[in-house]
Structure formats: structure tokens, C-alpha cells
Amino acid sequence: MWTMGIKRIADEEFLIDISLGRSERHRVVFRGSEREAQIAYLRLRKQYGKKSTDIKLIEDALEEYLEHAKLHDEEKTYKERKRVFFGHLLGAFGRFHPDFISSDMIELYQKKRLAEIHETKHGNKGGHRMVNLEIIYLRGLVAWMKEKGYCNEDLSKCRPLKYRRPVPAVLDHQTCLAIIDAMETYWKTFYLCLYLGGCRQDEIKRLTWLKVNLKAHYMIVTGKRQKERMVPLNPTLWTALVAHSMSQVSAQMNRLVFPSPKTNAKLVDIRKAIDRAKARLGIEDHVTPHKFRHSFASSLLRRGKDLRTIQTLLGHEDIQTTQIYMHVDLGMLADAVDSLEE
């Protein structure tokens, strides 16, 4: 038998108390008018009247969702997702049922988080992007809850905060090769994979010999969300990998292509190789491993390769991500305009 109780706990915030007989009781926080709270109760009763175990708040579903995410996310992404939920989202939305999270609530969260970020020592640097990412994580959880039958609706639509992705810094072709050539042989081959293959460092850290086909001149790397793509090996990279395979005692099947020289496990720190090479060349500019991937894309664009080809090689889902490289080389844009004088 159904009984209902709606209790005001704050301005336009109500506790909806739903009881199913003697043994089952569920409480849901709702934000809105009293009339809207009554409608919310009726929606819950309609949805969960036959299956009360499906009544789940954000906090009820989070652990199960994180287990799901752990299977499908990269380790780094999973840790960041978990940190964001327990650090910020759970406190703001944990008590709520997803169907009752409104766009107004999301906007209030955006303002609150921006204020918190502004008060930190980092100021507002990167704040808009950070808050947008947090809402994306929340949206992913709610979409998963909908698939599981824990809620009826996707997260309410709310305008993301304005954010312009910064233009990536790149190195020219000669500088990339000079830095790589100044590295020890092991690291030279690793960084050739980043520059001449356009790969992310994590893709190469976990690359196994099973995924490298030296006879056919390609390797298969696993990118974000476990998506695989084929990376052709140009002559320089192919030659380096052949020599590297001969120097590896365990260059077989499921063994890592680049195990740590010290522990034989997965690599952790790869930046010191860049620092040593820069010191040998007298370069003081800041150079990161990911800059070689950016430089790969920029070098292809300068050589007239189309964006769709570059998108495929980089493994970007959205070509808008690839288009950022159109803004990198002003010299190339100037040459295009100057060609009208010819």
C-alpha cells in the first residue's frame, strides 16, 4: 500500500518520503515548488510502483557506476572521474534523483565551482574547462543510470561555460628530429613513435609486440575508450623498431615493446629523456612528450595533408579536435594568402 509524505526542508526544497509496506522506504530530495514536488512523487510512483529496488539517487548508483567506468576508462581517466565525483559532484547532487536535477541546479553548481576555483592559488585559470568536464562526468553517470532503468530522463540541458581551447605549441620538423636524435637509442625509438606515429605516450607505454607487424609495416595502438587504430610505420620508424626488437630479449607476443629499463614493468617517467637531450643541445624551451604528437599533426598539415587524414591518424572522434591545428602555423596561412599574388 502506498503512503506519501512531502516535507519542506528549505526554500523550494522538499523531502519526498515514499513507503512500500512496512519494510521498504525511500527518501528523495526534490528542489522546486510544492506543486512540482507533488508531481515528482506521482512520477516516482508510476516509475517504481512495480519495482521499488530501482529507486536510486546519485549517491546510491555511484559505486556501481564507477565499477563500470573502471572497466571502460583509461586508468588516468578513471582516477580523475572518481576524484571529481567524490571531491565535488557527490556533495552537490548525491542526495538527488537524476530526474529532478534541473538546469537551474546545474547553473548554480557552475557558479559555485567557479567561485571556489577563483579563490584557489590558481585563480580562474582553466576554471571554465574544469567545470564543463565535471558536468560531462555527471551527464555520463545519468545516461548510464537511464540505461539501467534507475531514472527516466537524461540530465537537464544547460549551456556549457564559454571555453576556447588554447592553440597547442609545436616544434618544427628539424627540431623534433634533433631532440630525438640526441636521446639514447631506447628513448630515441620511443619518441619516434610519438612524433612519426602521432601517438599518445600512454598508447606506446602499453604497446605489446603482438600489436606490431614489422613485415606489413604497421602497428595497432589502443587509444581513448579502448578504441584501436592502425598506425603505418614510415621507413625511419620501421628501421628503429626493427633494431629495437633485436635488442629486446623478450620481443614476443604479449610482452611490452617498451618495458621500463629498470623494472621491466610499464614505463612511468619518460620526461627525463627529453631533459637530457635538451641539455645536450642547449635548448631551454619547455618541451613535453605530448608536444611531439602536436608537432606530428602540424608537420602533416604543413605538407598539405587534409584534415580527415590527420584526424584518422591521430584517432580523433571529432574533426573539430583536429581543426585546432589549422590555427598553429601562421606562416602556412600567410603562404596561402600570398599565393594569390602568383
| pLDDT tens, position by position, 42-92 | 677 666 554 544 668 899 899 999 999 998 887 888 999 999 999 999 999
> Using CA atoms, how far apart are residues 97 and 31, in angstroms rounded to an integer?
10
Main-chain dihedrals φ then ψ at residue 230, nearest 5 degrees: -90, 130
Torsion sign over Cα 280, 286, 289, 292:
negative
**Confidence check: pLDDT of 261 > 70:** yes
Nearest to 27 by CA among 106, 102, 100, 85: 100
Q: Which of 81, 95, 188, 316 is catalytic?
A: 316
**Confidence check: pLDDT of 124 > 60:** no
193 contact partners, CB below 8 Å, separation of at least 6:
199, 204, 207, 237, 241
Binned at pLDDT 50, 70 and 90, residue 331 comes out as: low
DSSP 51: -
Nearest to 197 by CA among 173, 222, 227, 232: 232
> Using CA atoms, how far apart are residues 275 and 183, in angstroms rounded to an integer?
9
pLDDT for 75 equals 81
**Residue 316 designated active-site:** yes
> Using CA atoms, how far apart are residues 214 and 113, in angstroms rounded to an integer?
50
> Using CA atoms, how far apart are residues 150 and 28, in angstroms rounded to an integer?
13
Q: Which of 25, 290, 305, 308 is catalytic?
A: 290
Beta strands in the chain (DSSP E): 2-10, 13-20, 24-31, 212-213, 218-222, 228-232
- C-beta atoms surrounding 297 within 10 Å: 23
Q: Which of 95, 200, 244, 294 is catalytic?
A: 200
> Using CA atoms, how far apart are residues 182 and 175, in angstroms rounded to an integer?
11
Which neighbouring-strand residues pair with 236? none
Q: Can you read off the three cell numbers belonging to residue 202?
A: 600512454
**Confidence check: pLDDT of 140 > 60:** yes
Number of alpha carbons in the 13 Å side-chain half-sphere of residue 267: 22
The answer, as to whether pTM is greater than 0.85, is no
- Residue written as grid cell 582553466: 126
The mean pLDDT of 317-331, rounded to a whole number, is 68
Nearest to 173 by CA among 300, 276, 275, 327: 300
> Using CA atoms, how far apart are residues 271 and 174, in angstroms rounded to an integer?
20
For the stretch 81-123, pLDDT in tens is 999 999 999 999 998 888 888 888 899 999 999 999 887 755 5
Nearest to 291 by CA among 214, 216, 147, 180: 180
SS3 state at 114: helix
Q: Which of 146, 224, 255, 278 is catalytic?
A: 224
Q: Which of 113, 188, 293, 294 is catalytic?
A: 293
Helix (H) or strand (E) holding 50: none
The mean pLDDT of 250-265, rounded to a whole number, is 78
pLDDT for 310 equals 87
At 150, the amino acid letter reads Y
**Residue 293 designated active-site:** yes
**Residue 82 designated active-site:** no
At 195, the amino acid letter reads Y
pLDDT for 90 equals 95
By residue count, the chain amounts to 342
**Residue 45 designated active-site:** no
2 contact partners, CB below 8 Å, separation of at least 6:
18, 19, 20, 45, 49
65 contact partners, CB below 8 Å, separation of at least 6:
141, 144, 145
Nearest to 86 by CA among 112, 120, 63, 108: 63
Nearest to 179 by CA among 187, 241, 297: 187
- Helix 103-119 × helix 127-148 angle, to 10°: 140
**Residue 146 designated active-site:** no
